[in-house]
Structures are given as structure tokens and as C-alpha cells.
A and B are shown apart, each in its own frame.
Chain A
């Protein structure tokens, strides 16, 4: 049987539905594509997946039985990587998990797809960790703490809990400039927010609304950063390994470097 292309709506539930339909229609998946990013090509036969919550739930439960919450979480992280290869990898890995007689197929580090999943998960988790570290809040006049980020992967959903628990007594907004959405915490809940077309926030708009103490603390932080450095031990390679240049834009202590 020749491989077939599956097209889904780009959502996580949609992808789980696709896995269900691979079984339902006995499809051999050749490619899994995100419908939001493809142009219509009428000549390629494709299977259109319509997201159905009940199907997604059955796949979720099936995976839960085979690989547990941790195994599902790994696949979800691969989904958040937004890599072009991610949807097909997730479908194929899920098929492998279901084909196993036993549980814990996610521990087979000798299997190519499982290993590929692990490697992407590692990158996504590293990016999540970096965003926990590199978010720099700036205080506005109205008491809101704002930070702009531009992560390689879509990690906002993965840092929500961390920031909500840590900064429980201040209102904050973390905004993903690349993906045009943010998380806003109103002292109760942290929810996704978007701004209307043409109303994106920028460093410029933050500076205009900044609290009068903001400059002082930012300056103190920069001075602190300089003072703790030990010039006798300078190690640029190590420094760049930990703080790659692409993150500098949003780190106030690296301003002017």
C-alpha cells in the first residue's frame, strides 16, 4: 500500500484525531501536514482529518495505558517544537507505542523514532528552562510587570504554572513577540491573551509606560552583573554556550554588548 498524506488543523487534538484515523482507515502515513501552513495541491491525494474530541480522547487514553502521562507529555513537547517533521514523528512514534505488546515503549532508546522524540524533547525543555531564566520583567506605572520573549519553540504553555506559582502577588504579562500572543496573570489566573492587529507591544511602548523606579533597578542590575565578573577568568566560549547571542536582545544586562 502506498503512503498517504494526512492533513490536520494544526491543533494537538487534531493530531491525536489523526492518529485515531490512521487506525480507523488503515492509512500508512507518508506525511502529516499542518493545514494552516500548506497551499492547496489538488493533485496529491490526501486524507483530511477533522478534529473530533471523542477520537482524541480515545487516543489519549490508549497512550496513557501504554506509556503513561510522561510518555504523552513527551509527544506534546514535540508538538510544541513546531518543527515541520514533528507531526509525522508523533504519529509514527504513537504507532510504535501501540504496536508494543508491553508498556513503556518510550524507554527504548535503541529505537530511532523514540530517540528522535527524546532529542526534540530535550531541546524543548532546554528552551523552557531558558525562558524561566531569561524573562526580564519591567514594571509599568500601573503596577503590571511586563516581559517580551522570542523563544525558538512555543514554550509559553510550559512556563505558565511556574510563573503563576512564583509571582502570585503581582500582575504580570509575558508576551511572545514571534507568535503574537502572551500570558496575562491577573492575581487569580494566568490566561492567554492576544492584541488586535497592529497593536503588538514593543520595547518602545513599554519604555513609555515604565514606572519611575524601573530605570534605577535595571541600572543596578547591570552594575551588579558587571561587578560579579572575574576578569582573570574570562571565558567567552563558555559564556556564549550558556547565553547564546539570540537571547541578548531581551536581557537588559547584555544591552550595549
Chain B
């Protein structure tokens, strides 16, 4: 038995790895009646060699699929080894990995076999067994299968900490081209249903404390980047739309990894757009924690993010009239907008300046990237001298004085020409 389970695990973990979400935070499930597990801030138990966190046992129930989406490794027409776990196998793996402190919980997705309801039913059954039979209180993330009935989705929500449904292709036209069997509205419907149920549960919980939790860590989604020729403007505006309209907890961006000779897609061997992906995540953070709007970052005039500098610096250079920001006086929200100052440093600045004026050396010590920030601030003993400079000049100064984490590969390429 154990050899077959080893092979299954390899196949079904490999097929699930393209879903980048591995978050296990945002839920607050307590360990009840001396059972097993709890959830909290989220822990990454190890990291793959590509540097991604491994927090959950992320597997497909099966990679058999009736759909033929061009970008997906499990598409019907692809010639890959197929496998399927039994319900008990997934339960045993989860329990035994969890007991050894390998994982925070289970992230279960699946190819769609037979039909949506049949697939969703099995996902729900596993979650139910873990919660009811094994008193398992660790994290469970289930995929919402498009087209599954509301009753099943609701049941999933009672057991899962998070539910997600991947948009995959940011634009509707792209989806039509690459996944003709799928349509956008079948993905949005369950999202919308869950949003309402989550809101309703919150209201009920205010009145009845005993109301059972319902998807406490909320919903998330994922978009593949660079598979369908979309612009950053389209991606970021789509993300903002889903954050606002469906209160998603996270939108993930996954640089397309070429897995097919299909003419509609980037060829096998072309590079994964990791820098672009990184800039998109930075923009996502700016929207969620820094109070930026999508159209401040990308708009009709600037539909693409700069690859050589981060989006906050890019915004600042386009808006030099908003600077310099006075460290001693300025509002927290303005300090947050200074390149080189993050959320933690901004909070420290606001706390520390009550004790006395802060100089550049203080800022440096408490974590500000002064080499970038100094062009945009004034503080004790420091008046920035470059206020008359044009944006391109400032950009050149900053690039010359900093070393990007991407710079080695860039230099290597430049030297060729």
C-alpha cells in the first residue's frame, strides 16, 4: 500500500504546486476539548528551493479533469500520469503530518471529475471527517468548485477556514481564448454567495455567540501573470475590483510557468516573469496597507509597472509636488507614502517623535531605507537638497546608490550587448 501512496502523493502534490496560496493565517480556531490543533498567525514550516513557504499539505484529490484549460497542467488533453486519493488517505496524511508539526493544515483542491457537485461533495466529506471524527482544529483551505450547488458550498464553509476560487486569467477575453469550457460568471457566482454568507454570519454572531464559524479566514483568488498578454493595469484594477466587491482576503499573482506547446501561450523554456510578479505583489501591498488606489499605481498613461524600481518610488517620482514630507509634523498616512518607509518604520516614527525630534541617523537606526527616503523628506538637521531635480535624475541617483535583489541577473544580460 505504501508504495502506491508515495507515488500518488508525488503526482498530486506536483499538480497542486501551481496554486501559490499557502497562507494559514487569518483564522482563530481554538483547540476544543483537548483535540488536535489550532490556527493563528500562520507558520511556514519549511521553504522549497525556490524560496516559497510550505505551510499546508497542498494536494489535489485527483488530477483527472473534464476541462481542457490551456494553461493548466492537469488539462484533459495533457499526457500526464493520473492519480486519485481516497478520502481516508487524505485524512491519514493530514493527521500524521500535522501531529509531527510538518504542516499547519490541509489545502485541498481537485480536478473536476464527473461533475462539479460530485467533486465538491468529496472535498466537503474530507473536511467533515477531519473536523467531526478526528476533532482536528488545524487550518483547512478548500477550493470552491465552480458550478457546485450552494448547499454544498455552504457546508464547505462550515468546516473550512478559507475557500478560494481561482480567476486564473485576469481578463474575460483571455479566459475565453484559453479556457473555452469555463466562464467568468460561474466563478463569480459562488464568490458572491460566500461573501453574503460571511457577512450574514458576522451579523448573527453579534447576537448569538454560538453561531458556528463560517469561512473565518475569508476568500482568496489567484491570477496567472503573463499567459494572456494582459497589462498590469488590467491585473491591478481586477484585483482592486475583487477586493472591494467581494472583500477578498488575498489576491495571488502567479507568474506563468510554460508547461505546454500550445501556440496561444508563451513557449516552453521562456523565463517565468518573476520580477513583474514581485512588482504586482508590491502594488497589492500598497493597496491593502498603504492606502493607495489602483489608478494611482497604473492608469491609462502608465499601464505597466516599472520593473527597475518599486511601484511606490515610481508613484513618488511622478508626484514630486507632494514632497518633501516633514517627518516631525506630517500625518501617518503621508509618512507611509515616502519611498523607503514601511508600515513598521512609519509606526515607530509616529511613536518616537513624541519624545523629541528625529534626525536622519535615528531614522536609519529604526529601519528606514534612508538612501531612498532622503530625497522625499525633511527632518531634524536635514533639508533635502534635491527638490529642484527632475524625476529621472532622482531615479538615477537612487538606482546608483542601491543594489536591487534582481540586479545580478540584469547586469549579466546587459553585458552581452
> For chain A residues 109-155, which have a beta carbon within 8 Å of chain B?
109-111, 115, 129, 132-139, 145, 147
Partner of B43, one of A111, A133, A228, A242: A133
Query: Interface of chain A, helix or strand or loop or mixed?
Result: helix
Residues in chain B near residue A137, CB distance under 8 A: 99-101
Contact between A223 and B358 (Cβ–Cβ < 8 Å)? no
Q: Does A166 contact B (CB under 8 A)?
A: yes
Q: Does B365 contact A (CB under 8 A)?
A: yes
Residues in chain A near residue B9, CB distance under 8 A: 220, 223-224, 227
Residues in chain B near residue A228, CB distance under 8 A: 13-14, 16-17, 48, 52, 54, 58
Residues in chain B near residue A220, CB distance under 8 A: 5-6, 9, 93, 97
Contact between B43 and A227 (Cβ–Cβ < 8 Å)? no
Q: Measured between C-beta atoms, what is the minimum distance from A218 to chain B in Å?
A: 8
Residues in chain A near residue B97, CB distance under 8 A: 217, 220-221, 224
Of A45-53, A74-82, A232-240, the one with at least 4 CB within 8 A of chain B: A232-240
Contact between B366 and A109 (Cβ–Cβ < 8 Å)? yes
Of chain A, the residue at the smallest CB distance from B352 is: A109
Contact between B57 and A139 (Cβ–Cβ < 8 Å)? no
Contact between A109 and B53 (Cβ–Cβ < 8 Å)? no
Of A84-92, A167-175, A194-202, the one with at least 4 CB within 8 A of chain B: A167-175
Contact between A230 and B50 (Cβ–Cβ < 8 Å)? yes
Residues in chain A near residue B366, CB distance under 8 A: 109-110, 115
Partner of A147, one of B101, B255, B258: B101
Q: Does A69 contact B (CB under 8 A)?
A: no
Residues in chain A near residue B36, CB distance under 8 A: 166-170
Q: Measured between C-beta atoms, what is the minimum distance from A64 to chain B in Å?
A: 20
Partner of B31, one of A129, A168, A225: A168
Q: Does B257 contact A (CB under 8 A)?
A: yes
Distance, CA A220 to CA B101, complexed state (A): 14
Partner of B46, one of A147, A237, A251: A251
Q: Does A229 contact B (CB under 8 A)?
A: yes
Contact between A166 and B37 (Cβ–Cβ < 8 Å)? yes
> For chain A residues 210-257, which have a beta carbon within 8 Å of chain B?
213, 216-221, 223-239, 241-243, 251, 253-254
> For chain B residues 126-170, which have a beta carbon within 8 Å of chain A?
135
Over the window 1-16 of chain B, the binary record of Cβ atoms lying under 8 Å from chain A Cβ atoms (1 yes, 0 no) is 0100110011001101
Q: Does B49 contact A (CB under 8 A)?
A: yes
Residues in chain B near residue A251, CB distance under 8 A: 46
Contact between A166 and B31 (Cβ–Cβ < 8 Å)? yes
Q: Does B242 contact A (CB under 8 A)?
A: no
Q: Does B47 contact A (CB under 8 A)?
A: yes
Q: Does A108 contact B (CB under 8 A)?
A: yes
Distance, CA A165 to CA B32, complexed state (A): 10
Q: Does A193 contact B (CB under 8 A)?
A: no
Contact between B356 and A219 (Cβ–Cβ < 8 Å)? no
Residues in chain B near residue A232, CB distance under 8 A: 257-258, 272
A132-B43, A224-B57 in contact; A229/B101 too (CB < 8 A)?
Answer: no
Q: Does A107 contact B (CB under 8 A)?
A: yes
Contact between B50 and A233 (Cβ–Cβ < 8 Å)? yes
Q: Does B355 contact A (CB under 8 A)?
A: yes
Residues in chain A near residue B46, CB distance under 8 A: 133-134, 225, 243, 251, 253-254
Q: Does B351 contact A (CB under 8 A)?
A: yes
Contact between A216 and B2 (Cβ–Cβ < 8 Å)? yes
Q: Does B329 contact A (CB under 8 A)?
A: no
Residues in chain A near residue B47, CB distance under 8 A: 238-239, 242-243
Distance, CA A243 to CA B48, complexed state (A): 9
Residues in chain B near residue A243, CB distance under 8 A: 46-47
Contact between A221 and B49 (Cβ–Cβ < 8 Å)? no
Q: Measured between C-beta atoms, what is the minimum distance from B381 to chain A in Å?
A: 13
Contact between B99 and A145 (Cβ–Cβ < 8 Å)? yes
Distance, CA A88 to CA B30, complexed state (A): 40
Distance, CA A131 to CA B235, complexed state (A): 37
Most buried by B among A115, A170, A229: A229
> For chain B residues 47-73, which have a beta carbon within 8 Å of chain A?
47-54, 57-58
Partner of A229, one of B17, B255, B274: B17
Q: Does B82 contact A (CB under 8 A)?
A: no
Q: Does B348 contact A (CB under 8 A)?
A: yes
Distance, CA A136 to CA B47, complexed state (A): 14
Q: Measured between C-beta atoms, what is the minimum distance from A102 to chain B in Å?
A: 9
Distance, CA A145 to CA B100, complexed state (A): 7
Query: A residues touching B (Cβ–Cβ < 8 Å)?
Result: 107-111, 115, 129, 132-139, 145, 147, 165-170, 187, 213, 216-221, 223-239, 241-243, 251, 253-254
Residue contacts A-B, CB under 8 angstroms, 6 given:
A110-B353, A129-B43, A136-B100, A165-B31, A229-B48, A233-B52
